[in-house]
Amino acid sequence: MTRETSIDELAKQLDESLNLDGKHASPEDTTATADEDNFLEELSDGESTYSVPSAVGSLSSDDSSDDDIGRVKFIGPAPPLTVHRPSLPAGVTSIFANTASTIDSIAEMINSGSAKNIIVMAGAGISTDAGIPDFRSPGTGLYANLQKYRLPYPEAIFTIDYFRRKPKPFFVLAKELYPGQFVPTISHFFVKLLAKRGLLHRHYTQNIDCLERVAGVESDLIVEAHGSFHAAHCIGNKCRKEFPQDWVREKIFNDSIPHCDKCNSLVKPDITFFGEGLPARFFDLLEGDFASCDLLIVMGTSLQVHPFAALINEVQSTTPRLLINRERVGESKTRGMGFDFDGSFAGSMPHRDALVLGDCDEACLLLADRLGWTDELLGLRAAFIDKRKLEHI
């Protein structure tokens, strides 16, 4: 099977698994139909590009039929995936057997068993195809759409001091973002598939949406670095009473601000706000986890928030690292700090950083294709959607 054929088949299987009717766009979205059946690989100087359709799906909050649950919309042709081909300095070797296609080398590492303690680091980019906005994208990110809350600055909505004084904006936003309204993306199910195959050592996420849990990743494999909606506590310093998620959810969806029945302080989901410390679990596990990691996959994050961003430097100096993102982030300015996609600071150490630019879901589909896992990956998502349909009958 040629690479062109495999990508074409991949796109067809994605359509079939999600019960699409063969159309990649609504009548209103004519741009999405351009060249929809022509998924070609193009090779250019220094890069390999791939085109795969981009899926966006979320559970509808209206009274649409059960058949609409979990369906996807194709929003324009996404930028083609670009697998970076490193331009290594003379004398620099690479950990990747095939530097012309590092994604194939990574697939071989996994299939051969040399990568079996995989850590995934994820940011908001793996959830945007579920309909959840990321934080920093100009015009469409969460921070760019918060003017209606009349905040002194966008980040105030996640600042503990501001929350204590004016909690309502957060709870209005929480109602929009609350778990249970969104379908996990292909990226979430790729993490689930790594876990199912016994290859996921840990999943570190910046996200608060709990979509890894919804996709079926076990709690012990997840580190929610910035907390999540999964639990809630009173913020009173001398109280800290825990409240069940269902109770908090009911309050939020009834447009009521939750207060502690013991001390009357505010009750907040266990999301880490600016001004609060990260969960103890994050610090308890990171040293041992990253020391034993033999492949680090970083997906959909700006790598601008610390200490999470610095975790990429915690793996061993010979551990391969793969960044999947819409733009280049976290790059080195000096040896040993950040990604070094072209081996500029490698010196005597082998080049070990791979880069795939584009949509996270599309990149996970491509990697699954190279691993021979396409049917299994799409099957996980299809089974989830079928189960959700039954629940909504």
β-pairing, 222-224 vs 321-325, is: unpaired
DSSP summary character for residue 56: B
Distance CA 256, CA 378 (A): 39
* Nearest residue to 12 (alpha-carbon basis) of 47, 39, 46, 42: 39
Cβ atoms of 170 and 370 within 8 Å: the answer is no
**Residue 202 Ramachandran class (φ > 0 left, ψ -120 to 50 alpha, else beta):** beta
Instruction: Tokens for 32, please give them.
Output: 């999405």
The catalytic residue among 24, 201, 203, 226 is 226
Q: Is 354 helix (H, G, I), strand (E, B) or coil?
A: strand
Please indicate whether residue 230 is annotated as part of the active site.
no
Token pair 């430097």 is at which residue? 313
Write phi, then psi, for 287 (nearest 5 degrees).
-65, -50
Instruction: Tokens for 318, please give them.
Output: 């010979």
Write phi, then psi, for 116 (nearest 5 degrees).
-135, 0
Distance CA 247, CA 90 (A): 62
Cα separation of the two ends of the chain? 41
∠ Cα 188 194 197 (to 5°): 140
Enumerate the active-site residues.
Answer: 226
